[in-house]
Structure 1
Amino acid sequence: MKVHGVVARTLRQLGTDTVFGLMGDANMRFLIDFAEREGGRYISAVDEGAAVSMADGYSRVGNRLGVASVTHGPGVANTVTALTEAVRASSTMIVVTGDTPSRPGHLQRFDLRAVAGLTGAGYHRVLRPEDVADDVAAVIRRVLATRRPVLLDVPVDLHHADVPEPHPAGPARTGHAFAPDPDELDQALGVIAGSRRPVVLAGRGAALAGARDDLVELADLIGAPLATTLLAKDLFRGHPYDLGVAGTLGTELSTGTILAADCVVAFGAELNRYTTAEDSLLRDKAVVRIDIDPERLSRGGPAHTGVLGDAGVTARAMTEQLRDAGLRPGSFRGAELAAALAAHDPRAEFADRGGPATLDLRSAMIRLDELLPAERAVVTDTGRFVYAPWRYLHVPEPTAFAHTLNFASIGLGIATAIGAAAVAPERLTVAVVGDGGGMMGMAELITAVRWKLPIVVVVCNDGAYGMEYHHLEKAGVDPAPSLLHWPDFAPVARAYGAEAVTVRTMDELEAAVKRLDATSGVPFVIEIKADPSVDVGETS
């Protein structure tokens, strides 16, 4: 076989069924082999950065390896923003490319290793044709183990070399769950047993470990309410003591409850400044952290007790030992808290500021949550609008939620949502974007149309770069320079082959959702007109 054929076959043998990309000299033979010879699915994007964002969304929402492929030079250069986002999101993803031919003066020569280093991705160059199958397999194992994307460089000079057909290989496997150190566990149990008002906090690590039931059992035993980080959104939804997302997105009730706690037991959680509300939620509390990442544990403060271990395995061990010790739950989560949580009405958190021709995005997201199919994925771009979907649009499980805030770049949301839709076409994917990021990513609607992906794009159009508008207004400066004058999104979307509607009232929003047919294979765009002066981050 040729080297390019071995790359395609090895990826297929190791479980890759989809590659997102844009074809060029460095990857066209590989992509043809992957789709035509190996029976894979090649989804071509409009832009190389969008292809990487698609693989990123595919990885995050599918909890599996995402693969993108771009050509060398400007192809790789165009991926820098999306690849940085994927690295900071800890996506399990590889980008297949190939260095330019070794002849001097090639117009697209570019330092691929330097680009990888700039974004924080790993870099692996295939040096010998006979090593290509082993190198591809090694890179996949590395990515799955470290959750750090890798730029895989298969130089064009090697592509047409003859190599033996690779031996059949089984699907690539992730690492196994491991138990905690007994001494660390014992120290943590002492802290938990000595608390009277504990809270169990779950992060994305706990969700990926499939630890929900184990954490619920532990929380029930110790009498702890349950909360999550944003990336573990809705892990405990439906439980009578679910506080929801902790921190800056928390409700008044959930924040008050966590403030009253004397111990936070955090599983697979970053405990960043958003989750902890600038550390105010952890102040004067014992903190027990359970994580498989020793570096994350080392970032804890002096009051933190760390346990290196899998969330599910550790929670089960804690429950078993505390039960054997005869621990009885405290009274922190009584009937009064359960009743208050059950009675919570998100509409009571703010005063609706919709106008005659604009919607309050908070009310709009609450209504969309009620109207859209419950079985869905939600992907957001970034911008001031995100507070509304993050608070009020729910998902069936945490991996069905993703955002593109890790590098704080607008414009990645639609492409990331297309990747999410490609990995789970049986359910609706809801992309929520601002007007600035939406206009940047709108061209990729063509990709969603071409592949008949079940996606609805909700454009929150306040006619401004919202965060900049807010900062200028707050500083007493005329915010007019932040205002935008786009064409209406609906006719643009229809020109790309999607269905689309513009809404200004709640009746129009409800009518738009009734038109939505998730099984039609035609992407649907709902443009919501909003007022830039309304601060959607405000709650009472």
Structure 2
Amino acid sequence: MKVHEAIAQTLHEVGVTELFGLIGDGNLYMVDSFVRQGGGRYVRAVHEAGAVLMALGWAQVTGRIGAATVTHGGGLTNALTPLVEGVKSGTPMVLLAGDTPMEDREHLQKVNQHEFVIATGAGFEQLRSPRTVARDVVRAFHRAWLERRPIVLNMPVDFQWQEATPEKVSLKFPEVRSATTASNDMDNAVGIIASSRLPVVLAGRGAMAPEVQAAIRRFAARIEAPLTTTLRGKDLFQEDPFNLGFCGTLSNPLALEVLTQSDCIIAFGASLNKYTAALGSLTSKKRIIQISPHQEDIGRYTDFEAGLVGDLDILADAMVALMDEAEIPGSGCRTDELRERIQGWQPATRVRGTPRPGTVDVLQALQAINAALPPERLFATDGGRFAIAAWAEIDVQTPRHFVHTQSFAAIGLGLGEAIGAAIASEGKPTLLVAGDGSFMLSGLSELTTAVREKLDLVIVVCNDGSYGAEYIQFTKKDMDPSLSLLDWPDFAPVAQALGIPAATVASSEELEAAMEQLKARDRSKPFLIDIKLDPKVMPEF
């Protein structure tokens, strides 16, 4: 068995079913073996950044380790921004990257790949020799899962056709179910809750497992506290009558009122970063109980009075048991008045002014799209000022169906991650909401990947003809915003030329017609909607 065959075989043995990539002389034989040996699905990206983004989107939806491959030199450097996104989002994935021959110092594609990778914050794993192929591949996947970040496996091109040492391997992780149910921090946490007059239960993406969600809801009901989530925990408690929605800079007015008045926050699986804390305003002068399976997450961004490490559901139930044993009453915060106010709350997003002729209200458009698609769908956004409105207006049934692409605050990452999510969707439609600038930056060419893979991917372009954040900065200082204005081609004809059915929406009538097209679309093809917006009339928060 040659090295390229051994790598492919090991990928199958560790459970890789989808491999996203772009081939070059550093990885083409391995990819060929991956497809021929075990019938693995290879998704051909147009750009290396797209390949890594697809693996990140796929990993977010499946909860498994994503896998991508690129060649050496420019193949790797093209993927650096997505690697940073993967590091900042804590998404486990392995990037199998070719590397130039060690002996050829003058190779045109030679760079110090180790230093580039380390600069992104990703991990680096070297394919050491033909004798260690299986162990090196497994180690990369093992590290990706345990370290919760991308790991790059560096594969020297001159190894490919050397004889590998056959070795049967498997990727295993011990099942860890743990909780510190008796400790000073546990006693302290229960004491804080017992003395709280208005506790709030906050959950992040780390709490999205069904059994964890159920335990947190039992805990919140026991202490009679309202519920709230981080952005990445979007819609975790959507059906709960005491769900306040987002906590932080995205909070609706009622949530802000309750969170401001609260004296205690019990955070499950949430990092409590500055956005969740609304730059510290929502955590200041509050007693914080932070609960996470990962010790390094406790106190990372916010001071805490009690920190509990272990499985979230076990810890939630343990606190309930202690409160029952001590006959501690609930806080009394879950009142009929609060429930009625929550039922009547309105999103924080508002549009002031009337859009000019030839444009539509972005909130009206997003609400129509939310109603037209079935509830069970995946949802991704790119970066831009439209995104906050989309996060508020588009619902999902579980945070697993919300694909977050903004951990690095870089625009142009949405399309790649949405394609990966759509491949992992198991028959559910995938919605991508992008701005015109981020859509162009992501590369129109990657649309051909969505066509080739026959994806049920709905792409909505919020097209205000500008880079929105820069437009806002210019206009707030009474400066000419023309540098931020852009003159794009009509996206619908461009999409149609690539084999994608599309609609342009520049009026309420066209919006209604587009929604009918959306409902009747051929689900074996992507569908694009270009929504014309007025840059002067966009949501304010």
Place the TM-score, normalised by the shorter chain, in its bin.
over 0.9
Assess, with a 3 A threshold, how the Cα gap between structure 1 residues 266 and 518 changes in structure 2: closer, same or farther: farther
CA distances 1:173-206 after superposition (whole Å, capped 9, x unpaired):
4752321262122221111122121110001111
- Would the aligned equivalents of 1:358 and 1:504 in 2 still touch at CA under 8 Å? yes
5+ long unaligned stretches in structure 1: none
Question: Where does residue 239 of structure 1 map in the other structure?
Answer: 240
Find the aligned partners of 1:150 and 1:181 in 2 and give their Cα distance: 34
Secondary structure of 2:530's counterpart equals strand
Return the offset for 1:217.
0.1
Question: Where does residue 273 of structure 2 map in the other structure?
Answer: 272
Find the aligned partners of 1:510 and 1:12 in 2 and give their Cα distance: 47
Question: Where does residue 297 of structure 2 map in the other structure?
Answer: 296
Return the offset for 1:322.
1.4
Q: Once superposed, what is the RMSD of the aligned Cα atoms?
A: 1.7
* 380-389 vs 500-509, which moves further: 500-509
Question: Where does residue 69 of structure 2 map in the other structure?
Answer: 69
Question: Where does residue 363 of structure 1 map in the other structure?
Answer: 364
CA distances 1:252-306 after superposition (whole Å, capped 9, x unpaired):
1111111121110001112122111111112221110011232321335555321
Find the aligned partners of 1:328 and 1:507 in 2 and give their Cα distance: 55
Does residue 333 in structure 1 map to residue 337 in structure 2? no
Listed as ranges, the matches of 1:44-443 within 5 Å are: 44-104=44-104, 105-167=106-168, 169=170, 172-173=172-173, 176-180=176-180, 182-183=182-183, 184-207=185-208, 210-299=211-300, 301-346=302-347, 351=352, 353-441=354-442, 442-443=444-445
* 527-536 vs 429-438, which moves further: 527-536
5+ long unaligned stretches in structure 2: none
> What letter corresponds to residue 456 of structure 1 in structure 2?
V
Assess, with a 3 A threshold, how the Cα gap between structure 1 residues 518 and 234 changes in structure 2: closer, same or farther: farther
Return the offset for 1:145.
1.2
Return the offset for 1:346.
3.7
Find the aligned partners of 2:100 and 2:181 in 1 and give their Cα distance: 49
- Would the aligned equivalents of 2:352 and 2:537 in 1 still touch at CA under 8 Å? no
Return the offset for 1:456.
0.4
> What letter corresponds to residue 119 of structure 1 in structure 2?
T
* 260-269 vs 506-515, which moves further: 506-515
- Would the aligned equivalents of 1:140 and 1:172 in 2 still touch at CA under 8 Å? no
Return the offset for 1:163.
2.3
Secondary structure of 1:196's counterpart equals coil
Question: Where does residue 458 of structure 1 map in the other structure?
Answer: 460
Find the aligned partners of 1:426 and 1:352 in 2 and give their Cα distance: 40
Question: Where does residue 11 of structure 2 map in the other structure?
Answer: 11
- Would the aligned equivalents of 1:144 and 1:174 in 2 still touch at CA under 8 Å? no
Find the aligned partners of 1:240 and 1:149 in 2 and give their Cα distance: 38
> What letter corresponds to residue 214 of structure 1 in structure 2?
A
Find the aligned partners of 1:356 and 1:324 in 2 and give their Cα distance: 65
Return the offset for 1:513.
2.3
- Would the aligned equivalents of 2:350 and 2:540 in 1 still touch at CA under 8 Å? no
* 37-46 vs 323-332, which moves further: 323-332
> What letter corresponds to residue 83 of structure 2 in structure 1?
L
> What letter corresponds to residue 376 of structure 1 in structure 2?
R
Assess, with a 3 A threshold, how the Cα gap between structure 1 residues 348 and 115 changes in structure 2: closer, same or farther: closer
CA distances 1:115-141 after superposition (whole Å, capped 9, x unpaired):
111111000001121111011112111
Return the offset for 1:208.
5.0
Question: Where does residue 476 of structure 1 map in the other structure?
Answer: 478
Find the aligned partners of 2:146 and 2:33 in 1 and give their Cα distance: 27
Find the aligned partners of 2:275 and 2:365 in 1 and give their Cα distance: 24
- Would the aligned equivalents of 1:214 and 1:312 in 2 still touch at CA under 8 Å? yes
Return the offset for 1:168.
5.7
CA distances 1:452-473 after superposition (whole Å, capped 9, x unpaired):
0110000000000010000000
Question: Where does residue 487 of structure 2 map in the other structure?
Answer: 485
> What letter corresponds to residue 440 of structure 1 in structure 2?
L
Question: Where does residue 446 of structure 2 map in the other structure?
Answer: 444
Secondary structure of 2:250's counterpart equals coil
- Would the aligned equivalents of 1:454 and 1:518 in 2 still touch at CA under 8 Å? no
Fraction of identical pairs, as percent: 41
* 179-188 vs 119-128, which moves further: 179-188
Return the offset for 1:347.
8.8
- Would the aligned equivalents of 1:144 and 1:173 in 2 still touch at CA under 8 Å? no
Assess, with a 3 A threshold, how the Cα gap between structure 1 residues 298 and 257 changes in structure 2: closer, same or farther: closer
Assess, with a 3 A threshold, how the Cα gap between structure 1 residues 16 and 253 changes in structure 2: closer, same or farther: same
Question: Where does residue 530 of structure 2 map in the other structure?
Answer: 527
* 395-404 vs 341-350, which moves further: 341-350
Which of 503, 516, 519 is the equivalent residue of 1:514? 516
Question: Where does residue 496 of structure 2 map in the other structure?
Answer: 494
Assess, with a 3 A threshold, how the Cα gap between structure 1 residues 387 and 537 changes in structure 2: closer, same or farther: farther
Does residue 536 in structure 1 map to residue 507 in structure 2? no
Figure out how many residues of one structure are paired with residues of the other and give that number: 537
Secondary structure of 2:496's counterpart equals helix
* 526-535 vs 21-30, which moves further: 526-535
CA distances 1:469-491 after superposition (whole Å, capped 9, x unpaired):
00000011100111000001111
> What letter corresponds to residue 176 of structure 1 in structure 2?
V
* 142-151 vs 455-464, which moves further: 142-151
Assess, with a 3 A threshold, how the Cα gap between structure 1 residues 512 and 389 changes in structure 2: closer, same or farther: same
> What letter corresponds to residue 429 of structure 2 in structure 1?
L
- Would the aligned equivalents of 1:455 and 1:518 in 2 still touch at CA under 8 Å? no
- Would the aligned equivalents of 1:145 and 1:175 in 2 still touch at CA under 8 Å? no
CA distances 1:384-417 after superposition (whole Å, capped 9, x unpaired):
1111111111111001112322112111111110
CA distances 1:433-461 after superposition (whole Å, capped 9, x unpaired):
11011112221110000000110000000
Find the aligned partners of 1:330 and 1:352 in 2 and give their Cα distance: 43
CA distances 1:123-170 after superposition (whole Å, capped 9, x unpaired):
00011211110111121111111111101012112111212433263x
- Would the aligned equivalents of 1:287 and 1:305 in 2 still touch at CA under 8 Å? yes
Find the aligned partners of 2:245 and 2:521 in 1 and give their Cα distance: 28
> What letter corresponds to residue 272 of structure 1 in structure 2?
N
- Would the aligned equivalents of 2:289 and 2:307 in 1 still touch at CA under 8 Å? yes
Find the aligned partners of 1:484 and 1:472 in 2 and give their Cα distance: 15
Secondary structure of 2:540's counterpart equals coil
Question: Where does residue 31 of structure 2 map in the other structure?
Answer: 31
- Would the aligned equivalents of 1:352 and 1:363 in 2 still touch at CA under 8 Å? no
Find the aligned partners of 1:509 and 1:161 in 2 and give their Cα distance: 59
Secondary structure of 2:240's counterpart equals coil
Find the aligned partners of 1:473 and 1:419 in 2 and give their Cα distance: 37
Find the aligned partners of 2:465 and 2:351 in 1 and give their Cα distance: 22
Return the offset for 1:350.
5.1
Secondary structure of 1:367's counterpart equals helix
Find the aligned partners of 2:322 and 2:278 in 1 and give their Cα distance: 32
Assess, with a 3 A threshold, how the Cα gap between structure 1 residues 180 and 156 changes in structure 2: closer, same or farther: same
